[in-house]
Amino acid sequence: MSVRPTRTRTILATLGVATLLLAACGGDDSEPEASDAEAPEAAAEDDDGDDADTTDAEQITLVVDVFGEQGFGYEALYEQYMSENPHITIEERGAGLGLGDYNDRLVQQITAGSGAGDVVALEEGTIVQFYAQLDKFVNLADHGAAELESNFLPWKWEQGAPGGFVLGLGTDVGSMAMCYRSDLFEEAGLPTDRDEVSALWTTWEDYIAVGEEFEAADTGQGFLDAATNVYNTMLMQIAGNNSGYTYYDPDNNLDLDNPDIKAAWDLTIEMIEKGLSTGLNSFSDEWNAGFQSGSFATIACPAWMTGVISGAAGDDAAGLWDVADAPGDGGNWGGSFLAVPAESEHPAEAAALAAYLTTPEAHVEAFEALGNLPSSPQALGDDAVLAATNEYFNDAPTGQIFGAGAQDLQPVVLGPQNNAIRTAYEDALRSVEQGERTPDEAWQNAQDTAAGIG
């Protein structure tokens, strides 16, 4: 979808955010460099309403680190920001890099205090591990970010501001749905209309039954892409409606006996044993190839997944994918934050850029560009989001589907080693898919590995 110039102009009007951040820069432990102090003013307007003079500002480059096949959809926002701040060049790194590889690299950079970007993306499941390294990041509250709290869903703000230290500003949330290939459903004799498909699976047991019907039609394609994706989706949903946490309780104690883990595990094993999973490794080259060849019919689909699908499947699959409700009762999987490492040589400018990229208007822009659902209540209520349709997904009303209930999402507690432990369970499930372990052996392996990590 195209970005509308009128909205980006609106964002610039809200660059009172940048001005606000500047006004609070005195909260730094040290005086900012001359260029740091001048840059935010350059983004604001003078008393006459004209753009402030930026001709004397020092030329700087801000590096933004993101992850994911398609990045975060900020390209038009970068261009607009640089046009209004000609002394700033923005370079983005990481598009095409999977979350696991990205996070491994970021952990090394943050620990070493060298190599990270000026602005870095922290995913929901990984931000918690950086709570113990707050000294490695800029407290965005020192740059006025505390005034921006109302721009974010309360639980999203709390995730990004542990103990009042504003570590990261929210980008998106992962409100859940189920994406499906309507052509493969038609070939299998199943309904293709999204409302009829939604009605097929009000529970995960229903979803399994539909999968069995699909497999019985012998289309030659699999029903779902990978057991790991559906496992993560179910775990976040089940935990959100029960314990409120996955592997760690709210006091950060490891609790691998949480019955929500086993409930999601057992449903996933049932799908594997009934032959519903194609057995692909999520976010791998083989998984991307599966999108291109149409080798599976459904995928658990948080809002951010729509950008992944369209990017991986390509133009040839436009109109073949559609979006239905997820089985079960809502939930959230994923979503990210933007933070500024303490090692940045331009903390004030980096904080201003992070604030700019997370204004309510920027949330709408990113949604229109890539489908990432806003974590801003103002953006979720914006007509551009509510009325949005996605041409690639057969004009599905994605604003309605993903936005429904997003403001009422209940957060799930994720502990400090959540990402590593999640990977342990994913690896164990893949070993079952590949016939390397029995379900009981894999479960014990996951439990033992997780206990060693935690």
Terminal alpha carbon distance of the chain: 43
Q: What is the DSSP string of 351-378?
A: HHHHHHHTSHHHHHHHHHHH-PEES-HH
List the chain pLDDT tens, one digit each, 454 residues.
333 333 444 444 444 444 444 443 333 333 333 333 333 333 344 434 444 455 578 899 999 999 987 889 999 999 999 999 999 999 999 987 888 889 999 999 999 999 999 999 999 989 999 999 999 999 999 999 999 999 999 999 999 999 999 999 999 998 889 999 999 999 999 999 999 999 999 999 999 999 999 999 999 999 999 999 999 999 999 999 999 999 999 999 999 999 999 999 999 999 999 999 999 988 888 999 999 999 999 999 999 899 899 989 999 999 999 999 999 987 888 899 999 999 999 999 999 999 999 999 999 999 999 889 999 999 999 999 999 999 999 999 999 999 877 877 778 999 888 989 999 999 999 999 999 999 999 999 999 999 999 8
Single out the residue of 440, 410, 353, 430 nearest to residue 171, CA to CA.
353
Domain-located, residue 14? no
Q: Say how far apart CA 15 and CA 247 lie, in whole Å.
A: 40
Pairing label, strands 222-224, 296-302: parallel
- Are residues 203 and 87 part of one domain? no
**263 within domain boundaries:** yes
Q: Is residue 1 part of a domain?
A: no
Range of the domain at 303: 174-332+401-453
Are 289 and 368 contained in the same domain? no
Does 34 reside within a domain? no
In this structure, what CATH number is given to the domain that contains residue 296? Answer: 3.40.190.10
28 in any annotated domain: no
Task: Work out how many domains the chain is built from and give that number.
Answer: 2
Please report whether residue 53 resides in a domain.
no
Each residue of 250-278: pLDDT tens digit?
999 999 999 999 999 999 999 999 999 99
Query: Same domain for 216 and 309?
Result: yes
Question: Both 217 and 315 in a single domain?
Answer: yes
167, 181: one domain: no
> CA of 254: how far to CAs of 107, 289, 333, in Å?
21, 37, 20
Find where tokens 């004030």 sit.
348
Distance separating alpha carbons of residues 123 and 335, to the nearest angstrom: 6
Same-domain pairing of 223 and 132: no
- Do 370 and 323 lie in one domain? The reply is no
In a domain, 16, yes or no: no
Q: Are residues 97 and 182 in the same domain?
A: no
H helical segments located in 167-278: 182-187, 194-200, 204-216, 227-241, 259-273
Determine contact, residues 81/180, Cβ cutoff 8 Å. no
Model pTM score: 0.82
pLDDT in tens, 151-204: 999 999 999 999 999 999 999 998 889 999 999 999 999 999 999 999 999 999
Residues 381 and 412 in one domain: no
Is 276 in contact with 215 (CB distance < 8 Å)?
yes
Q: Is there a domain that residue 19 lies in?
A: no
423 and 347 in a single domain? The answer is no
Statement to judge: residues 364 and 312 lie in one domain = no
Give yes or no: residues 131 and 191 share one domain.
Answer: no
